[in-house]
Amino acid sequence: MSCIFCHIAAGKSDTTLIEYENDNIVIFKDIRPASDFHYLAVPKKHMKNVRSCTLNDKDLIIEMKNELRNFLNTKNVNLDDVSYGFHWPPFTSIDHLHLHAIAPASKMGFIQRIVFKPIDMWYCSPEYVLANLKPAPE
């Protein structure tokens, strides 16, 4: 298993990283947080990146955002100050689909605001992804 996120999602990491899981996804802290709260929602099944998603993955993308939102709510995070987004290839550091949730977005530094700028050529919102999903190839 060479994918680090597959390794983490399977519970095979050296430390207990997973803070939430269900049948489809896991949630854990980003190793380089951009603000006080920075978590990733990662599917348990390997999916290369957001560009590989199709209409068949619509429910998964919705679930990833909803579960991150619910998780942040348990941490008493102001849900009006959260940035959710996917990095768009080739601007991905890990080739496994993952959704960022960063809060408070208003506390991100200058560089983080560039790296995690919504609706940009390298970082896009779940809503943008959902609106641009294509049918699965036959």
Catalytic residues: 98
b/e per residue 8-27 (b: at least 16 CB within 10 A): bbeeeeeeebbeeeeebbbb
DSSP letter assigned to residue 77 = -
Taking the C-alpha atoms of residue 92 and residue 113, their distance in angstroms, rounded to an integer, is 16
Taking the C-alpha atoms of residue 27 and residue 77, their distance in angstroms, rounded to an integer, is 16
DSSP secondary structure letters along 28-74: EE-SS-SSSEEEEEEESS----GGG-BGGGHHHHHHHHHHHHHHHHH
